[in-house]
Amino acid sequence: MAQVIDRALLESAWTTVRGAVRWTPLLHSEYLDSLLGARVYLKAESLQIGGSFKIRGAWFRVSRLTDEQRHTGVVAFSSGNFAQGLALAGRSAHVPVTIVMPADAPRRKIELTQRAGATVVLTEHGERNREEVASERARQIATEDQRALLHPFDDPFVVAGQSTLMREVLVDGEREGIRFDTVLCPVGGGGLIAGTALAEKYFGQGAEVIAVEPEACDDMRRSLITHRREQNAGTPKTICDAMQAKSPGAIPFEAASHLISRGITADDAAVRRAMRLAFEEFKIVLEPSGAIALAAALEHAPEFAGRTMVLLCCGGSVSVDDLYRLTATTH
């Protein structure tokens, strides 16, 4: 029987995950408010253990393994952030972890995954979608080594784990007397936005949840229009390396597509500017995928005038060299 992502599962994830991860802060800047003509808060998930929100879903997924699966180990594919999150969760639970990663994933993410104790297998994808190639290799390893195959976003337990990010936002908002009417959420495979939309449905106050993607891979935006899962061809050309999924996951799309109002995009130039602004104004480091919600807010500012917004800045796994390279030439 398929696991239903309902309020009870989200409550279980909250109980399991909240004590295992870092409660990341909401940041506010009057300067950013003035740029957007809105009241804007950044959820600085770049400060999370492992550098991104992915450890939330990974931790809850590992907690639901059977004893046999814990013994034989797990395998997954990832471009980097889920890889680190699963490696850290597996190490804590004494579960062997193998991660299949594209050979062109950021070197820093590969190194951090290995440092966390996972075995890393690299794949060359050529002109094919890199997620597709990595997932094929992961399935092969799972069969050969009799390991549990874990999906980085197309899994109800992963989605439930990711919902804890928005739960923190809601708790902090209630504590500070803030009622959010808009949430800008990055989308790769859809695990985070599904968890966010479900958390808002069950525990929120009716905020509009908007999907944010790079211009080069707006499969969720198109999927929300056509009401079916659209695909990206090949590997999209964008600096947002963590957002190059081929298509929204079936499970997150089914669970939350009717709760997401629409999708918007930002180009790479806007992402570079957002990374620089985050560093200079908030003193936080964002990787390109982690900065896209801020980039989209700046690029679509007239749409959000007068709103009270939270931007989910979901990751900061980027080397100093890449941070400089990506932000030094912005204007």
The C-alpha atoms of residue 99 and residue 74 are separated, in whole angstroms, by 9
pTM: 0.94
Over residues 40-62, the mean pLDDT reads: 97
Per-residue confidence (pLDDT) for residue 132, from 0 to 100: 81
Cα four-point dihedral sign 213, 240, 47, 6: positive
Domains, the chain: 7-52+156-327 (3.40.50.1100), 55-150 (3.40.50.1100)
Residue 36 has pLDDT above 90, yes or no: yes
From the CA atom positions of the chain, what is the Rg in Å?
18
What is the tens place of the pLDDT at every residue in 105-160? 888 889 999 999 999 999 887 777 777 888 899 999 999 999 999 999 999 999 99
Q: What average pLDDT is seen over the chain?
A: 94
Q: Closest by alpha carbon to 329, among 266, 267, 275, 265?
A: 275
The C-alpha atoms of residue 265 and residue 214 are separated, in whole angstroms, by 5
Residue 96 has pLDDT above 60, yes or no: yes
Q: CB under 8 Å to 171, separation ≥6 — which residues? A: none
Q: How many residues does the chain have?
A: 331
Over residues 6-31, the mean pLDDT reads: 97
The C-alpha atoms of residue 127 and residue 118 are separated, in whole angstroms, by 27
What is the tens place of the pLDDT at every residue in 246-304? 899 999 999 999 999 999 999 999 999 999 999 999 999 999 999 999 999 999 999 99
Per-residue confidence (pLDDT) for residue 235, from 0 to 100: 73
Over residues 44-72, the mean pLDDT reads: 96
Residue 245 has pLDDT above 90, yes or no: no
Please state whether beta strands 148-150 and 39-44 pair in parallel, antiparallel, or not at all (unpaired).
Answer: unpaired
What is the tens place of the pLDDT at every residue in 167-211? 999 999 999 999 999 999 999 999 999 999 999 999 999 999 999
Per-residue confidence (pLDDT) for residue 125, from 0 to 100: 79
Per-residue confidence (pLDDT) for residue 331, from 0 to 100: 52
Both tokens of residue 265? 């995009």
Per-residue confidence (pLDDT) for residue 246, from 0 to 100: 85
Per-residue confidence (pLDDT) for residue 278, from 0 to 100: 97
CB 286 within 8 A of CB 306: no
Give 70's pLDDT tier (boundaries 50, 70, 90).
Answer: very high
Per-residue confidence (pLDDT) for residue 234, from 0 to 100: 72
Q: CB under 8 Å to 230, separation ≥6 — which residues? A: 219, 222, 223, 247, 248
Tell me phi and psi for residue 125, to 5 degrees.
-115, -10
For 259, counting Cβ atoms within 10 Å of its Cβ (0-12 exposed, 13-18 middle, 19+ buried), the class is middle
Per-residue confidence (pLDDT) for residue 1, from 0 to 100: 55
Better pLDDT: 2 or 289 = 289
Half-sphere exposure of 70 (CA within 13 A, CB side): 13
Per-residue confidence (pLDDT) for residue 330, from 0 to 100: 54
Residue 2 has pLDDT above 80, yes or no: no
Over residues 319-328, the mean pLDDT reads: 91
The owner of tokens 């959010």 is 180
